[in-house]
Structure 1
């Protein structure tokens, strides 16, 4: 690598790591560096059945593969962020998946839109990882080897 390219790469890395949101978006690649399988599950539906299906798929993946060999990330945006609200009936299942290493992303664009429309910022579980744009997070993950599944 040339000196110029190295300096440019280090500069970009420093900028990216300077913001918490950028660190959160880079985290999936650092969380499980030895994962042989990488899956991103899209959740953009507020329907309880759909949320249950996403949880079921994540559970099945964690049971089927060695948890250290599979990276599962659930990206919630639009009505799908309801899964990450503190009063969601599936909260215990979500927390169980988090304890197994599943990552849950919440779209801040959706959160901001709800706040603008209602005047109140919605609460979500502390373990949810905020990402600025849910769909952009899905694109980032798929561009870096994740398989997109939309249950």
Structure 2
């Protein structure tokens, strides 16, 4: 009986010690943030544009420009992903064409959704002419997902 009591006391003490020990949360491996065009970048931002409103387009361009000014073109990777009505920003005749071209020279990438272009072509019979500096991706939202999975922060100004 004494051995049993002593065993219970020791077990209780051991349990108490384990319960009081700090619990270390399991961590998943860090997402690898990289962009081959920006090997020294430490910040990664994707700006979503799905609206044809010129105020929103100007806001996206302003945010992109401000990020380059704040962090420097080598320290931040900025990618603007336009889909749906937002592709108006990247048409060849956009009122913001000169600003888009200027931001491209500063290292900002502009993606245009190929699915949106295909839909417009099916509905109107012609494909919109896109700024040659824009990069066509098959699925705009899929591009945002891929960027998110590689460590980009998605922002919808």
What TM-score, normalized by structure 2, do the two folds share?
Answer: 0.78
Give the alignment partner of residue 87 of structure 1, picking from 83, 93, 100: 93
What is the correspondence of 1:2-151 to structure 2 with a 5 Å cutoff?
A: 29-151=35-157
**Offset of residue 57 of structure 1:** 0.2
Distance across 2 between alignment mates of 1:29 and 1:67: 13
Give the structure with the larger helix fraction.
1
- 1:124 Cα deviation after fit: 0.3
Aligned residues: 124
Distance in 1 between the 2:39 and 2:153 partners? 16
Cα distance, 1:38 vs structure 2: 0.4
Cα root mean square deviation, aligned = 0.9
Alpha-carbon distance in 1 for matches of 2:73, 2:49: 21
The runs of 5 or more residues in structure 2 that have no matched partner are 1-33
Deviation of 1:29 after TM superposition, in Å, equals 2.2
TM (norm. structure 1) is: 0.81
Q: Which of the pair has more CA radius of gyration?
A: 2
Q: What residue ranges of structure 1 are gaps of 5+ in the alignment?
A: 1-27
Give the secondary structure class of the aligned counterpart of 1:29. Answer: coil
